[in-house]
A and B are shown apart, each in its own frame.
Chain A
Amino acid sequence: MDGFGSDFSSGAAGSGKMDPGTIMEQVKVQIAVANAQELLQRMTDKCFKKCVGKPGGSLDNSEQKCIAMCMDRYMDAWNTASRAYNSRLQRRERDLTTQLSAALPVPPENRRKRLWSKVYQARATWQ
């Protein structure tokens, strides 16, 4: 397989133009690879600190076991942090939406219906 994202001619078929599907695929792959690299770098740092004492001639059994456990716990911690951050962002979005809708006046029923029918008409022309 080519280096990730290094060969941009693969989807061109000679026209010099890539289709959006291929572009998006390559973008997602590059981002995923960068994410995995970041995770591994930080995980290695933490688990080396926690598991390896005075460096010897090789990693002994207890150090190996500790590193394996540490990897699992680090990924658990990553998932926990991800959920916590996501919840926080959703809460902020909820609060902002509440504040916004409290600040905006609600149009009377008949005007609302006219506005919505305009939306539906516009949407029909997009097809």
Chain B
Amino acid sequence: MSDFNDFSSASASEKAEASELQRMIAVEQQKAQFQAQVHNFTDVCWEKCVDKPSSKLDSRTEGCLVSCVERFIDTTLTITNRFTQMVQKGAH
């Protein structure tokens, strides 16, 4: 039986199992990253779009939230791109 602390002697199936596990964990990490972003968007866009909490989210507020997420992403991209250009030009 292979020694569990010595991975060089692990069988092919054990190695395959370990890499499959790594893959599955990476999938869960990606999902967690997505959710962390949604928390951020909700936080920022709540401030911009929700005035008084009501009994239902009306269509105007819904539209505002959707636009807010899109524009926030656009803003992030704009800043990243422009900042990259600035750094490349040697700005401080």
A binding-site residues for B, Cβ under 8 Å: 15-17, 20, 23-24, 27-28, 31, 34-35, 38-39, 42, 46-47, 50-51, 66, 69-70, 73-74, 76-78, 80-86, 88-89
Contacts and interface: CB of A to CB of B under 8 A. Distances in A.
Interface of B: 4, 17, 20-21, 24-25, 28, 31-32, 34-39, 41-43, 45-46, 49-50, 52-55, 57, 61-62, 65-66, 69-70, 73
Contacts of B65: 77, 80-81, 84
A89 B35 CA distance: 13
A76 B73 CA distance: 20
21 contacts: A17-B4, A31-B31, A31-B32, A35-B32, A38-B35, A46-B46, A47-B53, A69-B54, A69-B55, A70-B53, A73-B50, A73-B54, A74-B46, A77-B50, A78-B42, A81-B42, A82-B35, A82-B38, A85-B38, A85-B69, A85-B73
